[in-house]
Structure 1
Amino acid sequence: MVNLGEIIREARENKLISQKELCESLCSQSALSEIEANKYAPSKQLLIQICKRLSISSTDLCLQQNYKVSKCADFNRIIKRLYNSSDYRGLRNFLNRPTLLNSVQTSQQTQAYYFYLAICSIQLDLDLDNAKAFLKLSLASSGKRHKRSTLTRLGNAALALIYAKLDLKNSAQTYFDLAMHNLDKDNYDGNQNTLFFIGALIYSHFNDYNKALDIIEQGLKRASTYKSNFMLINLFYLMAHITETLQTHQEFKDETIYEYLVANILRQKLMPSI
């Protein structure tokens, strides 16, 4: 079962933020305690404010396990630190250092190297041609292995996101379907949670909000099955934004849509909200 309160508490503790700091001007500390105890679900508006205060991103493609791009452990640690802190400019500068490039040896390291460069381009550049080229180099480096690695799936999903940003719906759908093909047959790892986040971003871009919410629910269910909380706060944050957008449309004026989705995802008939 997905425990939203536990997810919020874990995200807060990872940021080294106290309950008092998090709830200031948002809600009472006792209310936050009840939320973290999973006795109440935060309202859509409160969840969005909590996520903002926790610096949760609706665009960063986070990784639970980073990928090695070098034979040098120190280089890999620096890349992990820069990526996890969303310092994409610093990461790109580091990846372009000749000493780092000369240390990239294996096909798996090459695949990861171009993947990181592509993510930097997605986050920093208005022109997505470089990102697309880097992702194609990354995918080409993966070889023709029968079983797709999670990194290969992420490469296809990121390429799908680029095509979505370019308003090429058919290409976006094709590459995202490729990223998700037979995922349930793979051994689980936390980075797979990011695939569902990317998928929800893609379908949100095309205003297919029902599909985006369905992908979020699938991601939450899969993560819950494997007892992983990674990226789940991001998925709930995105879900809150989507339902807020839906309620601005004339055909979705029902204010209970968010509460219904939360109750359904948490598998509780009644989930009072604060």
Structure 2
Amino acid sequence: MLILGGKLKEIRKEKKLSQKELAKDICTQVTISKIERHNRVPTIKILSDICTRLDIKLNDVLLFEGESNVNYDLFQEIKKYCDNNQFEKAFQVMSHLSEKKMTNTYEKKLLNYYQGFLFLYHKKDVQEAQYYLNLSLTINKDSLIFDFLDCQILNMLGYSFFVSDELDRANIYYEKSVANIEQLADLELLDIEVILKIYYNSAKFYSDIENFQQAILLCDKGISLSKEINQLNALYRFYYEKAFNLAKIKNNREAENHYFIAMGLVKLLGNELVSEIIKENLKKFQLELRYND
């Protein structure tokens, strides 16, 4: 996949936008610079938002190995349905795709990834899910987007072994997914919300196997990253999860502080369901809703 960075720069200048103006609420100015100067590929979401601001089509500045991105819309539709837990609709869209229709190696990798995803979360067929996820891992290329997708696959494989009660194998995959994500360069080019999901899913796993300290460490990483991009929905989840794990190790003072912050965030977001869950947690652990200076 190749971005025509020079062309994007020309269009930006025609629109009389600075790099800072183009990047606002989408990514960093550094990301725009890397795209224009080095043809570095960000996530499709970031690039799509940039193209929308420039009032151009994605294919005006993006090439997949010299061919047109014919399956882009279908993959975007599948992603949208998966993100909203509309798995049956995603499965229906998948029926329009086949390996023969894939125009490049990344599309083949993505196809196997989504097949694995849907077999795991929709069909609840762990064995079939693992087959497709491992198949996706075998499709390699020295590229940031390939490496980034591999991190997501490893995290998902971790979950597949967790639900199969193979905790040692699950631990290996969760560890590897987190380690690999932190070794990637140019994180600003990636979808930060996906990184947050990897941290959160991993924290939940470690909490479930009672490795509370590791869960807290991952929550801290998630809190820091959520603050960077002002992602409140992720932020309250990490504060809540950290509070729960702090309570489990009897660090009541810090647990109360984190429950207090989590409650403030969910009230701000109008999430009464989580608000009630926090109240139940406080009662269970015999804690108060307060912030201790």
Map of 1:228 onto structure 2: 229
Map of 2:142 onto structure 1: 145
**Offset from partner CA, 1:155-186 (integer Å, 9 cap, x none):** 11111121122222222222222222351552
Evaluate the alpha carbon distance shift between residue 125 and residue 74 of structure 1 in structure 2; reply closer, same or farther with a 3 A threshold: closer
Map of 2:240 onto structure 1: 240
Larger relative contact order, structure 1 or 2 (CA cutoff 8 Å, min sep 6): 1
TM-superposed deviation, 1:151: 0.8
* In 1, Cα distance between equivalents of 2:78 and 2:199: 24
Map of 2:91 onto structure 1: 92
Instruction: Report the RMSD for the aligned CA atoms in angstroms.
Output: 3.6
Which secondary structure does the structure 2 equivalent of 1:219 belong to? helix
- Equivalent positions of 1:183-198 (< 5 A) are 183-188=182-187, 189=190, 190=192, 191-198=194-201
* In 2, Cα distance between equivalents of 1:196 and 1:123: 19
Map of 2:202 onto structure 1: 199
TM-superposed deviation, 1:112: 1.2
Map of 1:72 onto structure 2: 71
* In 2, Cα distance between equivalents of 1:64 and 1:201: 28
So what's the TM-score if we normalise by structure 1? 0.59
User: Residue 152 of structure 2 is aligned with which of 134, 138, 154?
Assistant: 154
Question: Matched residues, percent identical?
Answer: 14
TM-superposed deviation, 1:144: 5.5
* In 2, Cα distance between equivalents of 1:146 and 1:170: 30
Residue type at the aligned position of 2:224: K
**Offset from partner CA, 1:45-70 (integer Å, 9 cap, x none):** xxxxxxxxxxxxxxxxxx994999x6
Evaluate the alpha carbon distance shift between residue 65 and residue 72 of structure 1 in structure 2; reply closer, same or farther with a 3 A threshold: same
Map of 1:179 onto structure 2: 177
Answer with 175-184 or 105-114: which moved more.
Answer: 175-184
Q: Is the 1:75–1:100 Cα contact (8 Å) retained in structure 2? A: no
Which secondary structure does the structure 1 equivalent of 2:85 belong to? coil
* In 1, Cα distance between equivalents of 2:126 and 2:252: 37
Q: Is the 2:239–2:261 Cα contact (8 Å) retained in structure 1? A: no
Residue type at the aligned position of 1:228: I
Which secondary structure does the structure 2 equivalent of 1:181 belong to? helix
- Equivalent positions of 1:1-274 (< 5 A) are 65=45, 71-97=70-96, 99=97, 101-141=99-139, 143=140, 145=142, 149-181=147-179, 183-188=182-187, 189=190, 190=192, 191-224=194-227, 227-230=228-231, 233-234=233-234, 236-237=236-237, 239-240=239-240, 243-244=243-244, 247=247, 252=250, 255-261=252-258, 272=291
- Which structure 2 segments of 5+ residues have no match? 1-42, 49-63, 263-289
* In 2, Cα distance between equivalents of 1:216 and 1:176: 14
Residue type at the aligned position of 1:237: R
So what's the TM-score if we normalise by structure 2? 0.56
Residue type at the aligned position of 1:130: E
* In 1, Cα distance between equivalents of 2:130 and 2:237: 27
Evaluate the alpha carbon distance shift between residue 209 and residue 96 of structure 1 in structure 2; reply closer, same or farther with a 3 A threshold: farther
**Offset from partner CA, 1:6-47 (integer Å, 9 cap, x none):** xxxxxxxxxxxxxxxxxxxxxxxxxxxxxxxxxxxxxxxxxx
**Offset from partner CA, 1:96-124 (integer Å, 9 cap, x none):** 33x55543221111111121222222222
* In 1, Cα distance between equivalents of 2:239 and 2:83: 23
Q: Is the 2:151–2:177 Cα contact (8 Å) retained in structure 1? A: yes
Q: How many residues align?
A: 197
* In 1, Cα distance between equivalents of 2:102 and 2:87: 19
TM-superposed deviation, 1:245: 7.1
Which secondary structure does the structure 2 equivalent of 1:125 belong to? coil
Q: Is the 1:200–1:216 Cα contact (8 Å) retained in structure 2? A: yes
